[in-house]
Structure 1
């Protein structure tokens, strides 16, 4: 066994150490556009990054690098609280703080590389235990690309004074909440093509368990019936058409996206928590009555204006 220290230019040693057989698990907070050269991952590997809105907008994590890994079959996940750099292969562990970027290669960085099996196992356990995880798929990449184009404007956690970035699922406070019934429809060829282009290319159970995901949500009548237009940050509760099930809150995570060959239909990306289950509407009505809301109007599409009712609805899922 051996343990070696590498600095101030460790990237050639990191790249050499991870060129091994078997799946690699990496947690590298920030990725430059040249990350795939420094960190040559392949299908079956797992990569956790900090691709939060702040990190992407500050150009610390590149959507182009993320897209490269996703296309290569790497399972890519984002954690907004990640601020480290560790890698575990079948034999080696790399421990340090180097980001996979050109700026890292010209900075004074340092890592430890070891083949101690206990440390290798501990690094893999650490990576698999990272929380606040969102799967990076094409929907995520579309959002990240739009954020990247805004430019450098947001400080980074651990650098600009913020200790945790975007740790919460819901906006604080929740001021705009809507209840809409789910509409079942048959998508046309153009829309099927559009949705296929936004579907993740690869999926695997390796690595940390995802807590969040992005979904498509189509609206045929974006305005009307007192609902208004959805905007980024709105909270949406969906009810099945038969008024049987109330789905857990989702957060609108994109501006409206026009559906091809339609006059008014648009789509949004919704951020959802995959660990929350739907509740029977009848059960929800009883629970809300116990919380002081005997007439919550769960069977009617509307904007939920009452702040106390919004809070009571979130309590149904302990949010």
Structure 2
């Protein structure tokens, strides 16, 4: 689309930049009010990503609409830029009617009680409102809760073997991880001693994972580690161009196995060449099952 895009999207999940790609010069109005932050329906990580990208971001505490206007089209509907909206029954209308496009732009430009989202705003939102926040009712927003979540998805269809790479995360990445882990810690299910969240960084957007994907890691000391389940959509890391992270759900009560022992067990199960030291997607369903059996899963 040519020209700046104007968007009024009430609530942003941490995966908003992937769902709503905006660029420098665009305008985004969002509900980043104290109530929205404390309810964790608008993510400061997403806000920081847009600000860093050069998008002008404004907050309006009364915003509950979802409208986008480009030079030629208008998008009007109920969907927010969040994972919740991708699994809900939403409705969206896209039109190139010039009168509707003009009306959508006028609506967005006329939103009042706005506050500029800048670094001071973000620092306050992250360190106070978000951190002390809790799930509170927001008009028109419902949360689907899973009281007892299983560790593995009902059917493991995507499994990847990855080599552990040691690196020192930046301050912005550490803040991203701490914020997202704090948000998700109450929903991981099970005793804290059993279920834990870990952080996994990727620098190639083409390698993006999906919720429910299973990762198995190996290291340079010939150990293979228990499965980790991707528990979030891609989370952009501020101040980077392509890097993003995922939250991984792991079982702390499962122990690593030596690669030699794992290869022997897998060979006994009919897989003499499992390629445990090579990064790859595990296509064979029977090998995926055999790998999980290393930990009686």
Q: Which TM-score applies when normalising by structure 1?
A: 0.45
